[in-house]
Chain A
Amino acid sequence: MVSILRKSRTEFSPAGPASLPAGPVDPGYMMRVEDLGIRYDLRLTRKTTIRGTFRNLTKISRDDRSFWALRNVSFEVAHGESLAIIGPNGAGKSTLLQVMAGILTPSEGRIEVVGHISTLLTLGAGFDVELSGRDNILLAGAFMGIDAREMRERLPGIIEFADIGQFIDAQIRTYSSGMRARLGFSIATAVDPDVLIIDEVLGTGDAVFRVKSQRRVMELAKAAKGIVMVTHDLNWAEEFCNRAMLLEKGRIIAEGSPAEVVALHRERSDRARLERDAEIARQVAAATA
């Protein structure tokens, strides 16, 4: 059961002052998020052009607005836990996963991840559509830093699990979105991650694949891996996960058993909808009066 560590897995970005002893240890969790905050600088992150910059220079607009997409987020993911993160659009779920994956650097706070993390966040979105499925598997492996020889060994397993027939040798542009998701899921889970994070789980997978992937997720969870998934499919969260977290406007609202958190989320979004409806009704009434 000892996970084999590859060279690529042990290369870390140099971190700041360490509070944990360096070297391999088992701190008793798969991931710990501590007082995490992410700030987007809206001035910096807007897509710009040279033309646009000149235009802005002439307009003396000093909008140095920035906003916190996440603030004061702390939680742990234990061995064998699969955590569902739910919440309305724009709550900061995808942002949170990006920080976990090391793609975004926190503006404050920190994250500790034990072992190797597999991050194909939005399944299949990163595929090169002009290449075949097979080439994309190998390319995805190379992006994740997995040794080419090992990736070729895993190739048959990935293809078999994705189960998309002879399309595996066709360009990804010919795939349906469900087929892309299948392939993405197969890759993300086949690389034997210690921590698996997935965004928008299988929104388009069909019933057969859903059962199959459910089994795969359960297996990973049983092998004491940590799983974090973001989903809008509340049934999925209840079925698949043994813990759930509700995120709203970048803050944790609730954390606990999936059933309870999902119920709370339903209740809160219903209330939000009612309030919105009431507001619209008021405006309509005001307009017609």
Chain B
Amino acid sequence: MIDLIYHEEGVLDHPRAREVLDRYPSATLVPCSHYKEIFNPNGQNFALQKQKPSLILARKTGSLVHPVPPTYGIGGERNFYFSHLLNCLYDCRYCFLQGMFPSAHYVLFVNYEDFQDEILRLTQEPQEGESWFFSGYDCDSLAMEKSTGFVGSFLPFLSETPRARLELRTKSADTGILESKEALPNVVTAFSFTPEEIGKQLEKGVPSVDSRLRAIGRIAERGWPVGVRIDPLLDCIDFEKRYRDLFDKLFPSLPDESLHSVSLGVFRVPSSYFGRMEKLHPREPLFAGKLAKRGDSVAYRREIELERTAFCREELLKRIPASKLFQCETNLDAQPSP
């Protein structure tokens, strides 16, 4: 429940800001000059704020859409990300946001139209192949839909901009907005999974695997393409059994024609973020795992990563065609150490 909303002066004139305020009629409003006044200062404790984040309404200026590294993606020629929202409703212990952001407050950039203009401009550039836009880098794309109206606002735009392809990355099971609309072939809703036992330990607030599977079923039935993201791969007791069980649960229930893509992602966090995450949770078993500094990142030791990834890849290929499997390649060990 949000009961304090900070807002940049002037932003309340924006109709989307008014809509958000209407959803929280009893919230206290606190003005600020710029969202960074509240969000950026050092000396904040992300983990404490996570107990009760406030909402900051702001307008995004400057660069709105950014390219993502060429090794990430799901087959598109050009891949971009944008962030209409910073931070997430859920609280996953492995989440890099807690290492990247000084604050756990939600920052909502209300000027969706500017993101859309930029996406339109990029899709109109002379180009080969598809352009993908990823909306879930700094947040969960769906979890806060009731507050943000993000998907509801982007669907009409995407229906008129078929060359732009959007990935909604989520762990939410609240897919009502998609169920209420006509499916669009250029919007893929990608659900991230870890085995249930891991989720219970590390993913606070995230709906169960079963409820997410039911959500997938509902939107697949409506014709929406869906993706599965096995990301991050986490080393654990009974690793093989747990991941095999997860795959056994996921794939038989997914209609082939709805499955757009499956991707495998390893656990890797920039070292500076990892240092902050460890400091926030010094007694977290995950951070005491078989990790190593590799290049500028912290990840599982190379042999563990290779072995676990190979196992999952092999198991996935028993269940899905190779053309649908993508792996976020990392070449951490090739990076020079600072």
Q: Do A and B bind each other?
A: no
